Structure 1
Amino acid sequence: MFPLSTSRSSNDLARSFERLFDESFERFFGLAPRGEGGTRTPALDVHESDKAYTVKLDLPGVDKKDVKISIDGRLVTVQAETKKEEEKKEGERVVYRERSMSSYARSFTLPQDIDEGASSAKMDNGVLTLTLAKKEPAQTKRITVS
């Protein structure tokens, strides 16, 4: 048994439960409803060192050639998709299918600008590892008055 707030009306409570279990529940957690092939939000971890950020994203079933990474200053965007393979053999038919195309997208902002030229990406067993080098801050230049 759990306590219920008596200050809420029963209609408010019922609406809250309905909202919890509708499709927004799946969107909130970054899950696509089965069969719709919606965009998913991959889980990520970010670690920082003096020279770089290391970011790991879960992209299960994605081939490295299907991953797109863009960097704009401090903003990093990762997009990827899995391809649905249509493999039909003579005399066979699909009885049931749960595996389909999925797409992943995630954008995040880091505290410091990224040096694209010194950064790298590696895909291993469904985990994308980004090593994002920090851009050196611009040196202040002095101008002498003549």
Structure 2
Amino acid sequence: MFLVPVGRHSSDFSRSIERLFDEHFFDRFTTPTAADSSARTPALDITETAQAYVVQADLPGVAREDVKVQIEGRRISLSAAVRQDNEARPSERRLYRERASGAFARSFTLPVEIDQSASEARLDNGVLTLTLAKRGAATASQLEVH
């Protein structure tokens, strides 16, 4: 059983409890840990046409220069870094945080090898779209994101 003292100091006690929850409650129970942010993998869709595979991956908050697409024959590897401002500005007090810094990574293998020179990558509104042209020879290369 928890008893709250009643008297002239009870309002001070109440304010202390409120301050405790205001300052630390959200940070302790809702801020993602490093393990949470590093465990992310982007959701993706893959479709096929006669000439190419089209891959769409969700990469919210990722800058174009932070996306890397590696092509090694039939294997495609996507990686990207998400950078968030980890500190609140001096005039602000953070109340809640779900967005975290971290990295995205995903690899998959396609049935046919990819022609890197005829392929393209676009990042628009947080969606990476890869148009991967099919071919027969194996090479290892990196695709530039536009």
Give the TM bin, normalised by the shorter chain.
0.5 to 0.7
1:75–1:137 Cα change, 3 Å: closer
SS at match of 1:42: coil
Q: Which ranges in structure 1 are unaligned for 5 or more consecutive residues? A: 1-32, 139-146
For residue 114 of structure 1, report the CA deviation from its aligned partner.
0.5
Matched, 1:34 2:63: no
2:6 counterpart residue number: none
Calculate percent identity across the aligned residue pairs. Answer: 50
Normalising by the residue count of structure 1, what TM-score does the alignment of the two structures yield? 0.64
1:47 counterpart residue number: 47
Larger deviation, residues 67-76 vs 97-106: 97-106
SS at match of 1:40: coil
1:129 counterpart residue number: 129
1:19 counterpart residue number: none
SS at match of 1:116: strand
CA contact (8 A) 1:35 1:98 kept: no
CA contact (8 A) 1:69 1:79 kept: yes
2:14 counterpart residue number: none
Q: Aligned partners of 2:48, 2:81: CA distance in 1, in Å? A: 27
Q: Aligned partners of 2:92, 2:49: CA distance in 1, in Å? A: 54
Q: Aligned partners of 2:75, 2:32: CA distance in 1, in Å? A: 30
For residue 63 of structure 1, report the CA deviation from its aligned partner.
1.4
1:100–1:112 Cα change, 3 Å: same
CA contact (8 A) 2:80 2:104 kept: yes
- Identify which of structures 1 and 2 has the higher relative contact order when contacts are C-alpha pairs closer than 8 Å and 6+ apart: 2
CA contact (8 A) 2:112 2:136 kept: no
SS at match of 1:118: strand
Q: Aligned partners of 2:137, 2:100: CA distance in 1, in Å? A: 45
Q: Aligned partners of 1:114, 1:39: CA distance in 2, in Å? A: 28
For residue 84 of structure 1, report the CA deviation from its aligned partner.
1.5
Moved over 4 A (4+): none
Larger deviation, residues 67-76 vs 36-45: 36-45
Q: AA paired with 1:35?
A: T
CA contact (8 A) 1:53 1:131 kept: yes
1:68–1:89 Cα change, 3 Å: same
For residue 78 of structure 1, report the CA deviation from its aligned partner.
0.1
The size of the alignment, in residue pairs, is 106
1:93–1:44 Cα change, 3 Å: same
Q: AA paired with 1:122?
A: R
